[in-house]
Structure 1
């Protein structure tokens, strides 16, 4: 396949007026000089025209490739609040917990992640689009013998059966990946499911870390869980399902489509993105929905910046806006908090979020609670940052910043790698709820693909509708913060081994 530079050289060789000219061709007469000057000027214009034509053709070809597979049923409503009439939209908080983890009686929890995924699969009649860092739904993929992968196997079988139900399935995953031995994608491909691996390592020096589903162009899932059996039985996950919102699903599909077209070999990121990828839904113009009986303002965020058209609110900007708008409290639960770069620019200081949290506590007396996961694979370089933040806690000076570590007992599951951790990635304030897919360090926002959902619900729910989503998420945080699994930083053992040492009540 000739490259653009090769095609350019070939065109020049075929059309250049200088190809047949030799030194002995040039005459010394004035008339010849004039003729030659005219020929030279004409030739220059021809070459310039050819170059401009090639540039335009290549740009149009690139746009055609980027817009491939966009069809009318994927079109986003032309107005930010234009949705299908009579849609009864609802929102559901979903969670999963490691086996053996017990909060005790009367602890509130979200709907089971496994049951939510099963429900979405049962609803599908036309198409499903899934973005996930990797797929590993069977224990053999990681050379582990465990019956706790049954839920994952069930989900994999459900996906395998979708094409036989005339449901079209498209899947995007990441290059690089951590699931080097996974057989899931081959199984899916053999059953008629379309797979693309997006080389974010080449495109942005990051990874595709987003985790979301789009079902039949109207139901969506966004959350912390990868397509991994451990997410269902060995890791604490949190996400959200929104049913019957065609406008929100179409908007999320634009992000999926940007991954899909970049899954081509030798794809390059357009700058700017074609207008097809623009959104009418953002922080300035959120989608107005009635979610489970509550008037709500909703929008979807994305990272990295290279994958965001100007109209898309960036993930980091949404987080900073939520922190800056809080008046009473900011509660954050995230697997990893690290105000620096960890991968590409190793240890480059990045205090963007940390400064915003400190400013809220100092300038507006907002209470800040940060819940960070602590497990076998926790990077020890996080400790100085967490200790410095926790040291600012001074209630007598109206500075309320507290850090706790969430430690899950390993029990008899310690032989399974990358488990028994709190994989949540969310924030709730007195103003908004945010559920994302990124850990809180520089690389995740600057070079890695992720998404987030921002929900604001100003109105109080009616007596029949239950709590707002913000109130539900806040209750989940309070449950975790006050549980036996949340350990104040000062109480952590000196060796920081993240071993659960408390006795079970």
Structure 2
């Protein structure tokens, strides 16, 4: 929506994400469904292919690049960054978070495939947590088009360590699951209500309490 004027007092998602990365001093945690902050007008496989640089600027692609650069700069400042994503989308998949983590011990990047745990599903949440106090929760993907071409909504909580702590519990749970071997921690059980077999984690409520793992 590049030609719609901003509502006074309502922040731009791109500005918020860039601000959070630029001002992080210790830790930055990010959950994303996929990453396409960097436009690819020269890649024939990409939906950006064939557009000129002037056209990409008019579309707002530079806003995604600015967010990526802010993350890159935070990594260079030795901020501890954890990036958790779904498998990504064609053609770049997990290229961008992998590049951010490459050669940097302070940047960790994991992919969490929920289908390995529940038989289906994706990581669809979009969450940023900066320095255990600032939080973004919204609908915008880490995608330049989400920041400029699509109607998205989010909430930015600044200086809220109590809320950040609760959101971190959610993040840490997903991060822990991503470190497990799903085949060792899943079971197939019968869902009595719907009479179907379900693949579930071994701590699921579908499993009898005495048979659950810790």
- With the shorter chain as reference, the TM-score category is 0.7 to 0.9
Question: Taking structure 1 as reference, are residues 149 and 245 closer, same or farther at Cα in structure 2, changes over 3 Å only?
Answer: same
Distance in 1 separating the partners of 2:2 and 2:166:
35
Distance in 2 separating the partners of 1:161 and 1:108:
29
Name structure 2 gaps, 5 residues minimum: 186-200, 207-214
Question: What is the TM-score with the length of structure 2 in the denominator?
Answer: 0.73
Distance in 2 separating the partners of 1:157 and 1:197:
22
In structure 2, the partner of 1:139 is: 39
1:296-445 correspondence runs (5 A): none
In structure 2, the partner of 1:199 is: 113
Question: Taking structure 1 as reference, are residues 191 and 231 closer, same or farther at Cα in structure 2, changes over 3 Å only?
Answer: farther
Per-residue CA deviation, residues 358-380 of structure 1 (Å, 9 max, x unaligned), is xxxxxxxxxxxxxxxxxxxxxxx
Question: Taking structure 1 as reference, are residues 270 and 218 closer, same or farther at Cα in structure 2, changes over 3 Å only?
Answer: farther
Contact 1:160 1:187 in 2 (8 A): no
Contact 2:22 2:73 in 1 (8 A): no
Alpha carbon RMSD of aligned pairs, Å? Answer: 2.2
Question: Taking structure 1 as reference, are residues 165 and 102 closer, same or farther at Cα in structure 2, changes over 3 Å only?
Answer: closer
Aligned partner of 1:214 among 109, 129, 132: 129
Contact 2:75 2:100 in 1 (8 A): no
In structure 2, the partner of 1:178 is: 89
Distance in 1 separating the partners of 2:180 and 2:47:
31
Aligned partner of 2:23 among 117, 123, 131: 123
In structure 1, the partner of 2:193 is: none
Contact 1:172 1:198 in 2 (8 A): yes
The alpha-carbon deviation at position 190 of structure 1 amounts to 1.6
2:4 is equivalent to residue 101 of structure 1: yes
The alpha-carbon deviation at position 270 of structure 1 amounts to 4.7
Contact 1:136 1:184 in 2 (8 A): yes
Secondary structure (helix, strand or coil) at the match of 2:3 reads coil
In structure 1, the partner of 2:168 is: 253
Distance in 2 separating the partners of 1:102 and 1:119:
20
Distance in 1 separating the partners of 2:161 and 2:114:
29
In structure 1, the partner of 2:153 is: 238
1:452-463 correspondence runs (5 A): none
In structure 1, the partner of 2:62 is: 150
Distance in 2 separating the partners of 1:138 and 1:123:
21
Higher RCO (CA < 8 A, seq sep 6+):
2
Secondary structure (helix, strand or coil) at the match of 1:111 reads coil
Distance in 1 separating the partners of 2:103 and 2:159:
28
Aligned partner of 1:190 among 99, 102, 115: 102
The alpha-carbon deviation at position 163 of structure 1 amounts to 2.3
The alpha-carbon deviation at position 185 of structure 1 amounts to 2.0
1:2-17 correspondence runs (5 A): none
Report the count of equivalent residues.
173
2:177 is equivalent to residue 262 of structure 1: yes
Question: Taking structure 1 as reference, are residues 270 and 123 closer, same or farther at Cα in structure 2, changes over 3 Å only?
Answer: farther
Contact 2:14 2:63 in 1 (8 A): yes
Secondary structure (helix, strand or coil) at the match of 1:139 reads coil
Contact 1:160 1:191 in 2 (8 A): no
Aligned partner of 1:167 among 59, 79, 91: 79
Secondary structure (helix, strand or coil) at the match of 1:159 reads helix
Distance in 2 separating the partners of 1:260 and 1:130:
11
Name structure 1 gaps, 5 residues minimum: 1-97, 273-304, 307-505
Contact 1:163 1:191 in 2 (8 A): no
Question: What is the TM-score with the length of structure 1 in the denominator?
Answer: 0.32
Distance in 2 separating the partners of 1:139 and 1:163:
21
